[in-house]
Amino acid sequence: MENWNKTICKHRTLKGGIFLYQQEKKVTWLELFYDLIFVAAVATTTHVLLHVKDGIVPAHDLVKFVLMFVPVWWAWVGQTLFINRFGQDLLHHRLLLVTEMAFVLIMTASLSVDFDAYYYSFALGYLGLRVLTALQYLIARAREREPNRRAVAHYLGTRFWLGISFSASSLLFDPPVRYILLYTGIVIDMIIPILGRRLLKRMPAHTSHLLERFGLFTIILFGESIVSTLTVLKPNTGDWYSIGYSFAAFVLILTMWWPYFERTEHRADKTISSAGQAVIYGHLALLLSLSMTAASIKLFYLYEINYLFGLTFLFSSALMYLASMELVFSRYLARTRIGVACWQPWLSASLLIVAYVILFVWQVPAIVLLLVLSGVLAVGGFGGRRTSALEIQFVE
């Protein structure tokens, strides 16, 4: 099932840079099937942003959206990173992944605005995923003979239990203590790879596989925006405003999609080896911003929201998207900034702020907001040149 191709990759050791022949890991069909289950989870969490009261989305719903999104994202990240380093097309790997899918379904079915009522089933789904991931690392440790691979599997397979224990203890308490313990455990989980970064660099992530996996998850979020666009498209009624609004929303989605996947496919230097943490943690903000954008498309058209709130919400998501995309690819476009001019991200951010101030003072229809934002994003996204093989920068 796994397609392997040999390619020259860089690998940093404790003594300096050396060249290794490392096999390039490809995404499997089982991973793609695994992602399908998360489509419903993403759609459910994004729906929380559509609860409008007095023209705005209340602050507690914004917080609830983030608190629901983070466990979903981290559960997906946990399995993705295991497969990236240790995944093989073996029977026990397939069975464990299929079992995890059952826990994803339980967790997804428990996502609701009324979070307290479904907390125990949600916790069961999330903890089941994390326990299985930790067990997979321990199984890998037992099977591995290479010292660095064995050390990485041991570190992650043992340390993750600390976060799991904190999150599991939340089942014994009532709100708000249960949520403090749940998210303390999640934060501990997220910090453990950062604390072990030096060790993880001995067994660097497969860069091409990592970028491809996160790109596929990002596609799910772009799909949410497309769905939001289709909900307002009504060509049969002769409502030309809805058609125009849908077109403007599609242009916005395109100007966000283009620079991300241009960097992923053509500009990022995939021969650079690292722990991949900029990609991992940078995508949290990037995916949150895409969910916010998808919600914004619906909010402006289907709900009577306050203009200033909608403007701020939409432009904040765009600014978050630009900043997180810069963080995600900083490692792979650094050195000479291959394929992207240094000034483009700063110009986009500056124009975004200027446009926000102008539109804050001069109120315009929602369709104009989308088109203006699209133009600003296009400045930073449609430019530069693609990476050539001769321009690869080697890690020192």
Q: What is the mean pLDDT of residues 251-268?
A: 90
Pull the structure tokens for residue 156: 């992650």
pLDDT of residue 205 exceeding 50: yes
Pull the structure tokens for residue 313: 């919400």
Quote the distance between the C-alpha of residue 62 and its chain's center.
18
How far is the C-alpha of 329 from the C-alpha of 337, rounded, in Å?
10
> How long a stretch of residues is the chain?
396
Q: Is 185 helix (H, G, I), strand (E, B) or coil?
A: helix
What is the average pLDDT value for the chain, to the nearest integer?
Answer: 85
pLDDT of residue 112 exceeding 80: yes
How far is the C-alpha of 278 from the C-alpha of 10, rounded, in Å?
17
What pLDDT was estimated at residue 6? 37
Percent share of the chain, pLDDT over 70? 85
pLDDT of residue 13 exceeding 50: no
Angle at 294 between CA 288 and CA 298, to 5 degrees: 140
What pLDDT was estimated at residue 113? 80
What pLDDT was estimated at residue 332? 83
Pull the structure tokens for residue 145: 């003979």
What pLDDT was estimated at residue 23? 57
What pLDDT was estimated at residue 85? 92
Concatenated DSSP letters of 132-181: HHHHHHHHHHHH--SHHHHHHHHHHHHHHHHHHHHHHHGGGS-TTHHHHH
Beta-carbon contacts of 49 under 8 Å, excluding residues fewer than 6 positions away, are 57, 61, 62, 65, 291, 292, 295, 299
Of 133-137, 192-196, 199-203, 328-332, least confident by mean pLDDT is 328-332
What pLDDT was estimated at residue 236? 57
What pLDDT was estimated at residue 389? 41
Q: Which residues pair with 24 in a beta bridge?
A: 5
What pLDDT was estimated at residue 339? 46
pLDDT of residue 337 exceeding 60: no
- Convert the pLDDT of each residue in 342-365 to its tens digit: 667 778 888 999 999 999 999 999
Name the E strands within the chain. 5-13, 16-24
Confidence band for 341, pLDDT divided at 50, 70 and 90: low
Q: How many CB atoms lie within 10 A of CB 105?
A: 14
pLDDT of residue 216 exceeding 50: yes
What helix, strand, coil percent values describe the chain, rounded to 5?
75, 5, 20
Of 95-104, 122-131, 373-382, least confident by mean pLDDT is 373-382
pLDDT of residue 373 exceeding 60: yes
Q: Which residues pair with 19 in a beta bridge?
A: 10
What pLDDT was estimated at residue 116? 84
| CA end-to-end distance (rounded Å), the chain | 35
More confident residue, 393 or 358: 358
pLDDT of residue 371 exceeding 70: yes
- Report strand pairing: 5-13 vs 16-24: antiparallel
What pLDDT was estimated at residue 330? 84
How far is the C-alpha of 280 from the C-alpha of 79, rounded, in Å?
12
Of 94-108, 141-155, 217-231, 307-321, least confident by mean pLDDT is 217-231
